[in-house]
Amino acid sequence: MLQIQRISKSFGGVKATDDVSLDFADGTLTAVIGPNGAGKSTFFNLITGAFRPDQGRIMLDGVDMVGRSPPEIVRHGIGRAFQVASIFPSLTVEETMLAAVGVDQRRAEVLHRRFPLPETRERAAHTLEMLGLADKRQRRAMTLSHGDQKLLDIALALVLNPKVLLLDEPTAGMGPEERWRMIEKVHELWTREKLTLIFIEHDMDIVFKIAPLIVVLCYGRVLATGTPEQIRANPAVIDAYLGTEQHEGAA
C-alpha cells in the first residue's frame, strides 16, 4: 500500500505539488491525468526521491520514504520509467538488463567475477521476452527506435521486480497506433505481474479505456479521483480539463 499524505513541493513561487494526499492500494492500476505543468512528473519525482517534499509523508507499507535517496527507494520496491526515455546509450539491450538484475541482486560492485553473471540471465531474458525486446537484445540502446527506447526504460524498472511501478507518459511521442500497442503492453504487465501501477497519460481515450482508477491533477492539487464514470461526470474536471479538451477537439 502506497500512501501519500499531504505532500507539497514548491519551486520558487510555483507550487508544483500542493497538499496532495492519495492512497494506492496494492495491485491497483491508476492513471494520473492533468494539463501540462499540472505537477504530474513532480509527483513521481517526489515519490521516487528525486526531490524531497517540503512537507508531508510518503508511506510504502508503513515505511516513510521521505528523505531517502533514489537508490534506497528503489530497493524498497518503487520503480519508475521516465517521460523522456532514460537508458544507457552505449550498452546493448541485453547488457542493460543483465546489469540491472545484477544491481538488484546487490552485485553491482562485484570485482572478482566476469560480467554477465549467470544468475542474472533468467530474469533478464524473461523481462525482455515479456516486453517484446528479445529479438533486439544485441542492439545498442542508442540505435533503438523511440518506442523501443521507451520499452527499454520500462524494462529497466520492471526487471527489478518493483512493488509499485510508476510510468511517466509511456506513450509520449508515439503515433496513434504505437500508442495503443504500448498501452496494451502496459495493461498486460499489470494483469500479469499483479503490481501496483501508476501511469501518467495525456490521451483521454486511452485513460478512460484501460484505467479503473483516475487521479486528476491541476495546478499541483488533486482535482478529483475516481472511476472513469465518476471522472467523466465530475463538474470540476469538465470545467478545468475535459471541457478545454473538447473545445480544442471541436475547434
Partner 1 sequence: MSELQADRSSGRVVAGAGQRRSAAGADLLIAAIGFAVLVSLPFLFSSKALVDFVIRCAAYGLFATSLNLLVGYTGLISFGHGMFFGLGAYSFGLLMQRTGLSIPAAFVLTLLISAVAGLVIGAICVRLKEIYFAFVTLAFQMLIHSVILSWQPLTGGDQGLRGGIPRPVFLGIDLGNQLHLYIASCALLVVGLLLMRQIAQSPFGYTLRMVRDNATRASFIGINVWRVKLAVFVLAGMFASVGGVIMSLFVSGAYPEFAYWTISGEGIFINMLGGVTTFIGPMVGTVLLLILNDTATRLTEHYGIILGVVILFFALGLRKGLMDFVVEWYAERRDKASTRETST
Ligand X SMILES: Nc1ncnc2c1ncn2[C@@H]1O[C@H](COP(=O)(O)OP(=O)(O)OP(=O)(O)O)[C@@H](O)[C@H]1O
Based on the shown chain and the rule CB under 5 A, indicate whether residue 196 belongs to the binding site for Mg ion. no
Among 13, 36, 111, 235, binds ligand X (CB under 6 A): 36
Beta bridge partners of 218: 221
Give whichever of 14 and 59 is closer to ligand X, judged by the CB atom. Answer: 14
Residue 161's region, left for phi above 0, alpha for psi from -120 to 50, else beta, is left
Give whichever of 160 and 211 is closer to partner 1, judged by the CB atom. Answer: 160
Instruction: Please tell me the total number of residues recorded for the chain in this structure.
Output: 251
Three-class secondary structure assignment of the chain:
CEEEEEEEEEECCEEEEEEEEEEECCCCEEEEECCCCCCHHHHHHHHCCCCCCCEEEEEECCEECCCCCHHHHHHHCEEEECCCCCCCCCCEHHHHHHHHHHHHCCCCCCCCCCCCCHHHHHHHHHHHHHHCCHHHCCCEHHHCCHHHHHHHHHHHHHCCCCCEEEEECCCCCCCHHHHHHHHHHHHHHHHHHCCEEEEECCCHHHHHHHCCEEEEEECCEEEEEECHHHHHHCHHHHHHHHHHHHHHHHC
34 is in the binding site of which of ligand X, Mg ion, partner 1, none (Cβ under 5 to 8 A by kind)?
ligand X
Give whichever of 39 and 102 is closer to ligand X, judged by the CB atom. Answer: 39
Based on the shown chain and the rule CB under 5 A, indicate whether residue 127 belongs to the binding site for Mg ion. no
At closest approach, how far in Å is the CB of 12 from ligand X? 7
Give whichever of 16 and 174 is closer to ligand X, judged by the CB atom. Answer: 16
Based on the shown chain and the rule CB under 6 A, indicate whether residue 41 belongs to the binding site for ligand X. yes
102 is in the binding site of which of Mg ion, partner 1, ligand X, none (Cβ under 5 to 8 A by kind)?
partner 1
At closest approach, how far in Å is the CB of 90 from partner 1? 5
Give whichever of 34 and 79 is closer to partner 1, judged by the CB atom. Answer: 79
Count residues contacting ligand X (CB under 6 A)?
12
177 is in the binding site of which of ligand X, partner 1, Mg ion, none (Cβ under 5 to 8 A by kind)?
none
At closest approach, how far in Å is the CB of 36 from Mg ion? 8
Based on the shown chain and the rule CB under 6 A, indicate whether residue 37 belongs to the binding site for ligand X. yes
Based on the shown chain and the rule CB under 6 A, indicate whether residue 34 belongs to the binding site for ligand X. yes
The one-letter amino acid code at 57 reads R
Interacting positions 58-87 with Mg ion (CB under 5 A)? 83
- For Mg ion, the binding residues (CB under 5 A) are 40-41, 83
